[in-house]
Structure 1
Amino acid sequence: AWKALTGLPEPALEAPARHESRPPASLAEDIHPLLRELTSKAEVARTQRDLAGVQTRANPELTIGAVRERDGLGERFGQSVVLGIRVPLGRSSASDSKIATASAELVEAETQLTLEAQRTRAQVDAAQATLRSLEAVQASAERRAVLARESRGFFEKSFRLGESDLPTRLRTELETFEAERQAARSRLDVDAAVSKLRQALGLLPD
């Protein structure tokens, strides 16, 4: 099913653990794909507005026609070509409509870009705050796991020497297991937060 869907060879059953690289600390609007697209739309709208402001006159018109006539009854028809050129000199009403339309499209594009940039910055800030919080939780969980392993080693030695009983040793084993499980889960949570931050920044997984 994997080969039929992706065309790739079958992956290993247990892929090695890997972590996504840490993204930059700030939002780069020239990298984020959505903001780049909206910026391009705003630039196109601005160019169209500027072009409409320059083209205030209607385009010149060239007229070509053929005339077939005769001077009198019974005479042969004569043919002539009529060439006409029309050069508008004043400002056309159509140009005002084009300028108004282009200006409205520019305002809409710039407003959409501003709103999307604000929304994206808010998402990035929230993702960064979540990542910082989970990193603090991970650091605490890692310290707890280290202490639990040290305590387990101490009680193992004490149990072998007959200085501690079996329930105490089993309790330390359970506490160590729980601490290591929590540390592993905190690492997964941090990796997920890094992935969400990269998505908020418009970066692809690596």
Structure 2
Amino acid sequence: MPFLPLLRRRVAVFAGLCVGLSMAHAQNHVVTLRQALEAAWTLSPSSRAAANRQAELQAKSEAARSLLAGSPALTLAHRTDRLQTNGGLREYEVEVGLPLWNFGMRHATQRQVAADAALQELQIQLARLKLAGELREAASQLATLQAERNLVARKLDEANRLAIDTERRLKAGDTARVDLLQAQSAIRQAEGLLSQADAALARARGHWSSLTGLSTSPELGEQPGVATEHPALMVARAQVHSAQMRLALVEADRRDPMELGVGAARERAAAGAIGETTMRFSIRIPFGGDTRNAAKLAAARAELDAALAEADATQRQIETEREAARVRLETARRNETLAAQRAALATQIQALIAKAHQLGETDLPSRMRADNEKFDAELALTRARIDIRRAVTQLNQSLGLLP
């Protein structure tokens, strides 16, 4: 009976409208990229490691402010002649060794720790920027797939309405059965496209949720920013400064720390003799040498050379990425203009052919070709508009700007 196919198509149209309304409702609950970045940062491994790294640097800073170069040492000694003449000789000695800073070492250590702390802060900023880049790309991909899904759902709705109209015309004897079969085939094609779009959208949402822990849709509303000093370049320069401070520390560390000894001794020379208590002060001065620090100096100089080369390479890379991002944005704007012109023409052509088809002046294949061309043009325009927003986010990313 023709009633059942008609009923199924109307149910499909209703279901498509319900899904579209649910998608629109979901889009009303959006989250900004800044909010998404904060949520993603709390989940990132870099955020969790940063706290421990800061605690490490804090401990090093406190050690560098100490008056001693290391931990004190306690020495206990006992001397007796019990195993030899057993004349009653007894001696007990206790001494505390205090390691002292060599000249310039304490100040060099403090500068090294301060440089490492500054580098750590900049590395956190760079890690947040890299995470923002991942979020920007994921948000752009999600927006593209959502828009494509909405267009495919509308195409399915239009295909269902065209099939209903074709079936009505078939009953009236105004068209052939092959037209109805073609219209029904178009429905199946649109349903397949919708299924693929739903699957791709679900994967994109899963990726977004894994990054941020959020189920709400992101909003792409960034505007082109103003160029500032890029965090990657700041990190590279901080690495150079840290390497310089490490080299200065190695150059100052020419020998092991001196050690001040403070001790007391209790001695009895023989049995029946009166015990005597004495104090002892000593200083231990290790000798240095070029061979002691030769390997450390070579490693520190190599690290500095590598940091300088890395800073130069980072500068060139940032300039290249910024120029490429500007060109990408200009290209996206030109493509959007062309896509808008194409969509306007395709819409006019489809309207004319649809009207002619209603009047019986053209056949169904011509109508379907016009519908497909309009769909392709609208899809291209939708992608072009999202590409502009994606290009803006990529430009801001190249400028080192957070959302």
Q: Smaller-chain TM-score range?
A: 0.5 to 0.7
**2:344 match:** 146
How far apart in 2 are the matches of 1:71 and 1:19?
Answer: 90
**1:165 match:** 361
How far apart in 1 are the matches of 2:226 and 2:387?
Answer: 19
C-alpha deviations, 1:105-135, integer Å up to 9, x for none? 3223333343344444444444444333333
How far apart in 1 are the matches of 2:377 and 2:318?
Answer: 36
Relative distance call for 1:174 and 1:70 in structure 2 (3 A) is closer
**1:104 match:** 302
How far apart in 1 are the matches of 2:300 and 2:282?
Answer: 32
Relative distance call for 1:186 and 1:99 in structure 2 (3 A) is same
**1:28 match:** 229
How far apart in 1 are the matches of 2:324 and 2:344?
Answer: 30
How far apart in 1 are the matches of 2:245 and 2:399?
Answer: 28
**2:281 match:** 83
How far apart in 1 are the matches of 2:312 and 2:237?
Answer: 10
| Pairing 1:181–2:375 present | no
Relative distance call for 1:108 and 1:165 in structure 2 (3 A) is same
Relative distance call for 1:197 and 1:82 in structure 2 (3 A) is same
Relative distance call for 1:27 and 1:100 in structure 2 (3 A) is same
Secondary structure of residue in 2 paired with 1:15: helix
Counterpart amino acid of 2:242?
Answer: V
**1:8 match:** none
How far apart in 1 are the matches of 2:262 and 2:333?
Answer: 78
Relative distance call for 1:95 and 1:23 in structure 2 (3 A) is farther
How far apart in 1 are the matches of 2:262 and 2:238?
Answer: 42
Give the % identical residues: 26
Q: Tell me the CA shift for residue 141 of structure 1.
A: 0.8
Q: Is the 8 A contact 2:259 2:285 kept in 1?
A: yes
Unaligned runs of 5+ in 2: 1-22, 29-142, 144-218
| Pairing 1:131–2:329 present | yes
Structure-1-length-normalised TM-score: 0.62
| Pairing 1:19–2:220 present | yes
Q: Is the 8 A contact 2:255 2:289 kept in 1?
A: yes
Structure ranking higher in helix proportion: 2
Relative distance call for 1:20 and 1:113 in structure 2 (3 A) is farther
Q: Is the 8 A contact 1:151 1:172 kept in 2?
A: yes
C-alpha deviations, 1:70-109, integer Å up to 9, x for none? 4566422322111023567x86444665544433332233
How far apart in 1 are the matches of 2:371 and 2:281?
Answer: 102
Unaligned runs of 5+ in 1: 1-10
Q: Is the 8 A contact 1:58 1:95 kept in 2?
A: no
How far apart in 1 are the matches of 2:24 and 2:331?
Answer: 33
Q: Is the 8 A contact 1:20 1:194 kept in 2?
A: no
Relative distance call for 1:97 and 1:70 in structure 2 (3 A) is farther
| Pairing 1:63–2:261 present | yes
How far apart in 1 are the matches of 2:24 and 2:252?
Answer: 63
What CA RMSD, in Å, does the superposition of the two structures yield over aligned residues?
Answer: 4.2
C-alpha deviations, 1:24-55, integer Å up to 9, x for none? 475732xx3x4444433332222232344455
Number of paired residues? Answer: 188
Please point out which of 239, 243, 246 is paired with 1:45.
Answer: 243
Relative distance call for 1:50 and 1:23 in structure 2 (3 A) is farther
How far apart in 2 are the matches of 1:60 and 1:66?
Answer: 20
How far apart in 2 are the matches of 1:92 and 1:65?
Answer: 30
Q: Is the 8 A contact 1:61 1:85 kept in 2?
A: yes
Q: Is the 8 A contact 1:27 1:121 kept in 2?
A: no
Q: Is the 8 A contact 1:27 1:124 kept in 2?
A: no
Relative distance call for 1:66 and 1:101 in structure 2 (3 A) is farther
Secondary structure of residue in 2 paired with 1:20: coil
